[in-house]
């Protein structure tokens, strides 16, 4: 039994890495974009503009996290009904 678990985990590594690499790359690019954006704002505009952007980031992050959480929670509720072909239950989810 242990060998089948090990074989299954080895088989899952390649798709997991293929899934994670674009996500990691997007995160790195987002961080680089933010650093360069801050550099441009800091050089072209005043320090107050840089302070305003830095102060707004936690609110922006909260809003994005909230939207992702709502989307994930909705997919968890809708997924089984959609997979089972129960369209009435999906309509009830949106109407209630």
For 1-49, what is each residue's pLDDT tens digit? 566 666 666 677 787 788 888 888 988 998 898 888 888 887 888 777 7
Structure tokens at 10: 């080895």
Q: Are 48 and 56 in contact (CB under 8 A)?
A: no
Quote the CA–CA distance of 77 and 29 in Å, as a whole number. 32
Q: Where in the sequence is the domain holding 82, given as residue range(s)? A: 46-96
Q: Are 53 and 41 in contact (CB under 8 A)?
A: yes
Residues 62 and 94 in one domain: yes
Q: Distance between alpha carbon 9 and the CA centroid of its chain, in Å?
A: 24
Pick the last residue of a domain from 29, 44, 59: 44
The pLDDT, as a whole number, for residue 6 is: 61
Quote the CA–CA distance of 56 and 34 in Å, as a whole number. 13
Residues 36 and 1 in one domain: yes
Residues 29 and 50 in one domain: no
Residues 26 and 58 in one domain: no
Residue 96 has pLDDT above 80, yes or no: no
Residues 91 and 57 in one domain: yes
Residues 25 and 52 in one domain: no
Enter the pTM of the model: 0.49
The pLDDT, as a whole number, for residue 95 is: 76
């Amino acid at each position: 039994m242990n060998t089948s678990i090990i074989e299954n985990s080895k088989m899952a590594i390649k798709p997991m890495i293929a899934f994670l690499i674009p996500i990691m790359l997007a995160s790195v690019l987002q961080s680089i974009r933010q650093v360069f954006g801050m550099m441009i704002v800091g050089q072209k505009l005043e320090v107050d503009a840089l302070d305003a952007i830095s102060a707004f980031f936690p609110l922006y992050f909260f809003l994005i996290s909230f939207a992702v959480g709502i989307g994930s929670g909705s997919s968890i509720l809708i997924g089984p009904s959609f997979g089972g072909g129960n369209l009435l239950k999906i309509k009830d989810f949106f109407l209630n």
